[in-house]
Amino acid sequence: MTHAAVLDELVTLVDPGKLLTDPASLDAYGKDWTRQFPPAPLAIVFPKSAEQLQAIVLWANRHRVALVPSGGRTGLSAGAVAANGEVVVSFDYMNRILDFNAFDRTVVCEPGVVTRQLQAFAEEHGLYYPVDFASSGSSQIGGNIGTNAGGIKVIRYGMTRNWVAGLKVVTGKGELLELNKNLIKNATGYDLRQLFIGAEGTLGFVVEATMRLDRTPRNLTAMVLGTPDFDSIMPVLHAFQGKLDLTAFEFFSDKALAKVLARGDVPAPFATDCPFYALLEFEAVNEEVADTALATFEQCVEEGWVLDGVMSQSETQLRNLWKLREYISETISHWTPYKNDISVTVSKVPAFLREIDAIVGEHYPHFEVVWYGHIGDGNLHLNILKPDDLDKETFFATCAKVNQWVFQIVQRYDGSISAEHGVGMTKRDYLGYSRSPEEIACMKAIKAVFDPNGIMNPGKIFAPD
């Protein structure tokens, strides 16, 4: 059948106007934030129910058409890029909150619910959804589940998988599965729910998710501390963790801070210039906790680990301090950065960062390198900024050469080549640095069970055979 005939059949499976083929839509829905791969989808389709999605998957199997899931398209690994004539399945119209159980502290969402929408819903009911990151205003729950999104609160609350009570998914065979049924304790064999979390849509697509909520934190308070070098950040973390229950512990370099301050949206935290900064957050539930934080700060200054610092005294100041960290990714996007999202155990971070920074500095002395990340859980974001006079293709090709050296260090430290952004297309050729051949073979075998015809987001996670 011709493409036109195939699409004539597809258009009957969704509501009127929910199949797009115009160039602007193909470009917008065929890519994510990576900007590395040019989009080339066949069409964009918008299901409004699990039944419509099942019909789309069965159609795709009949015609051997690949499907790519699309949420907020805020991904940074090209996991939602359609570069080879796939049909993009957008969940923009499956965006309802379906149910809420105050006793169980659970809320049932369709995959197109935006992260901030869920956070606001929880807040309206006196509860809290703790998975948070800079793209929370546009990222969708289905995409968060597909990549097992982390963010700024992992040190206290963990990754997305910690908050998924149950899932309904449509597999690559078109089957509708209900996984775990929202149980806290369920010892009945394999937890298939966890297989779909972080699978990047390669096994099937989420059509409904039951998310757990938590109590609302009380009087969140942030501190930004300037350190004389990176090695000082780890004893600062250890000192504060020994005294307080931290909800976040982030870091960023002076170069990252300079980019944010140059926008003019937020003031500098203090006058002292420092090579590195730590941002920590905790619940100041009473004066004793606040006094403990200040005493720990003074101890860190006496030890020479901290040069200067500030503690928020209001909600406005808390938000402004967080902007110093949360605005980094958006701010440096102007330079089309080449990103690496890597992790090791927390104790190995200083030596790990030193080795990688030395490798990057040696091979790219003329490129600006910006470091930041979730230091409290061992996750570092390495960003190499594109010079204005260098075209994108040459820049990415040049930067790709460093991957082998960086990932060899990751492998030697028993780390991960992707801490929270997923594998997608950008990291698929390097999967072997984090996973053994035996693991990869098992993963491919699992995919074959759920997606025997290979139509679900092909080319992601695994390099083409």
- The per-residue pLDDT string of the chain (465 residues; one tens digit each, 9 = 90 and over) reads 667 788 999 999 999 999 999 999 999 999 998 878 999 999 999 999 999 999 999 999 999 999 999 999 988 899 999 999 999 999 999 999 999 999 999 999 999 999 999 999 999 999 999 999 888 999 999 999 999 999 999 999 999 999 999 999 999 999 999 999 999 999 999 999 999 999 999 999 999 999 999 999 999 999 999 999 999 999 999 999 999 999 999 999 999 999 999 999 899 999 999 999 999 999 999 999 999 999 999 999 999 999 999 999 999 999 999 999 999 998 998 898 998 999 999 999 999 999 999 999 998 899 999 999 999 999 999 999 999 999 988 998 998 888 889 999 999 999 999 999 999 999 999 999 999 999 999 999 999 999 999 999 999 999 987
pLDDT at 423: 97
Q: Which two tokens stand for residue 353?
A: 């960062």
Do 204 and 448 meet the contact criterion of CB atoms below 8 Å apart? Answer: no
pLDDT at 1: 62
In 3D space, the residue among 79, 22, 11 whose CA is nearest the CA of residue 45 turns out to be: 11
Nearest CA-CA partner of 14 in 37, 58, 48, 40: 48
CA dist 248 and 155 (Å) reads: 6
Q: Name the helix (H) or strand (E) containing 390.
A: none
User: Which domains are present in the chain?
Assistant: 3-93 (3.30.43.10), 97-215 (3.30.465.10), 220-329 (3.30.70.2190), 336-421+430-442 (3.30.70.2740)
Cross-strand pairs, 119: none
Task: Give me the residue label for tokens 């997608």.
Answer: 424
Alpha-carbon distance 374 to 250, whole Å? 5
What sign has the CA pseudo-torsion 326, 327, 330, 336? negative
pLDDT of 400 reads 87
Judge whether 226 and 260 are in contact, CB under 8 Å. Answer: no
Distance CA 69, CA 424 (A): 12
In three-state secondary structure terms, 100 is strand
